[in-house]
Amino acid sequence: MSAEIRVRRRVAFSETDAAGIVHFSNYFRYFEDAEHALWRDAGLSIHPESAEIGWPRVSASCEFHRPLKFEQEFDVSVRIAELSTRTITYAGEIARDGEKIATGTWKIACVSKLRDGTMRSVEIPAAVAERLQPPS
């Protein structure tokens, strides 16, 4: 069980742009992938096949300190900064060789899908909250 995770990965060519560096939008994907790994590490999936609830983003922000280039390896660290009754706030950091590359924070909300396709905020199921709870 864990409320924190670190994942090592490598820049793919399709993630770079004509400036020769990783396109900034991909940092949000790096953070999301690590977030989902944190869920798996806790024995959960954020999007199981027949889920009745979902976890859309409420907000996401990132500061970009240094660029990443093709084939560079880097570490993505993600931890749960706050676990409220209906939302989860994460804090993340991307680093390479001890240098900060990017810092991010984002919030997801637990929602149930209504018949008409709209989403309604609901409480996070206890079975999920327990597993994601930071160790005290």
Give the residue numbers marked as catalytic: 17
Q: Which is nearer to a copy of itself, 8 or 135 (CB)?
A: 8
- Residue 118 burial (10 A CB sphere; 0-12, 13-18, 19+): exposed
Interface with a copy of itself, residue 60, by CB under 8 A: yes
Rounded Cα distance, 6 and 38, in Å: 8
Q: Are 111 and 27 in contact (CB under 8 A)?
A: no
Query: Rounded to the nearest whole angstrom, what is the least distance from the CB of residue 66 to a copy of itself in the complex?
Result: 9
Query: Rounded to the nearest whole angstrom, what is the least distance from the CB of residue 124 to a copy of itself in the complex?
Result: 17
Which positions from 64 through 93 interact with a copy of itself, judged by CB under 8 A? 64, 67, 69-71
- With tokens 């949000």, the residue in question is 28
Query: Rounded to the nearest whole angstrom, what is the least distance from the CB of residue 9 to a copy of itself in the complex?
Result: 10
